[in-house]
Amino acid sequence: DAKTTQPNSMESNEEEPVHLPCNHSTISGTDYIHWYRQLPSQGPEYVIHGLTSNVNNRMASLAIAEDRKSSTLILHRATLRDAAVYYCILRGRISSGSARQLTFGSGTQLTVLP
Amino acid sequence: DAGVTQSPTHLIKTRGQQVTLRCSPKSGHDTVSWYQQALGQGPQFIFQYYEEEERQRGNFPDRFSGHQYPNYSSELNVNALLLGDSALYLCATGTGASNTGELFFGEGSRLTVL
């Protein structure tokens, strides 16, 4: 399975933008890039996913490099509630075994400072 | 709309015992996956159930087994418990066996093996 590399930890100030990087140099052409986050004492929560183009939703934006070997999750204005472990995950397309599971790495622990 | 519900939230067992954990999927979801999360690590995929059959399995021994009922709810059974089975067990639900959309996680069942 293709793997992702993320920094172990990052800090941000409240109400400032946060850019969380992810490297996935062995990504295949059919892998989707998913981001989940896990708040303390909770199960993971879906944030966003994309294939090639940049994506936006109410929670965040996902910027995908042109060669797809890296991506960046952007939180436009961090709040204290955004403090969590953020996981970047590659997920195969329909009918592939890797489509049926999420392979979590260690993720990035985001600390938001007031 | 109730999300993914898991029970029990916490339980304590001793080595060699057996445990059953339960998961009710989010309304409209027909696929259930189970994950094990050891302290300080990312979740690891155990298996996925769809149409009452195990569709995909991670690297877990056959002491870990499951079941899915016609109403899509699911159980995870672990036999001959070991100390190393102490973890947070997460249930994730979605639609379709190979859908690459978002998964919804429950808050987990915290198992302690003494």
The per-residue pLDDT for range A45-85, each reduced to its tens digit, is 999 999 998 999 999 999 999 999 999 999 999 999 999 99
Of the candidates A44, A94, A105, the beta carbon closest to that of B98 is on: A94
The per-residue pLDDT for range B80-114, each reduced to its tens digit, is 999 999 999 999 999 876 666 789 999 999 999 99
C-alpha span between A38 and A42 (Å, rounded): 6
C-alpha span between A51 and A62 (Å, rounded): 10
DSSP, collapsed to helix, strand or coil, labels residue A100 as: helix
Choose the mutation target among A39, A101, A106, A109 for the interface with B, i.e. most B CBs under 10 Å. A101
CA A90 to chain centre: 9
The per-residue pLDDT for range B39-49, each reduced to its tens digit, is 999 999 999 99
pLDDT of res. B107: 96
Residue with structure tokens 């004492």? A41
- Residue pair B64/B11 in contact by the 8 Å Cβ criterion: no
A1–B contact, CB cutoff 8 A: no
C-alpha span between B3 and B10 (Å, rounded): 19
Neighbours of B55 (CB within 10 A): 17
pLDDT bin (cut points 50, 70, 90) of residue B6 is very high
**Chain B hits for A106, Cβ within 8 Å:** 41-42
**Chain B hits for A41, Cβ within 8 Å:** 107
pLDDT of res. A70: 96
Cα–Cα distances (Å) from A72 to A61, A99, B41, in that order, read: 8, 22, 22
Of the candidates B4, B97, B105, the beta carbon closest to that of A100 is on: B97
Of the candidates B4, B33, B90, the beta carbon closest to that of A101 is on: B33
pLDDT bin (cut points 50, 70, 90) of residue A99 is low
pLDDT bin (cut points 50, 70, 90) of residue B2 is confident
* Residue A28 in this model has a pLDDT that exceeds 90: no
Tell me the nearest-neighbour CA distance from A77 into chain B, angstroms: 23
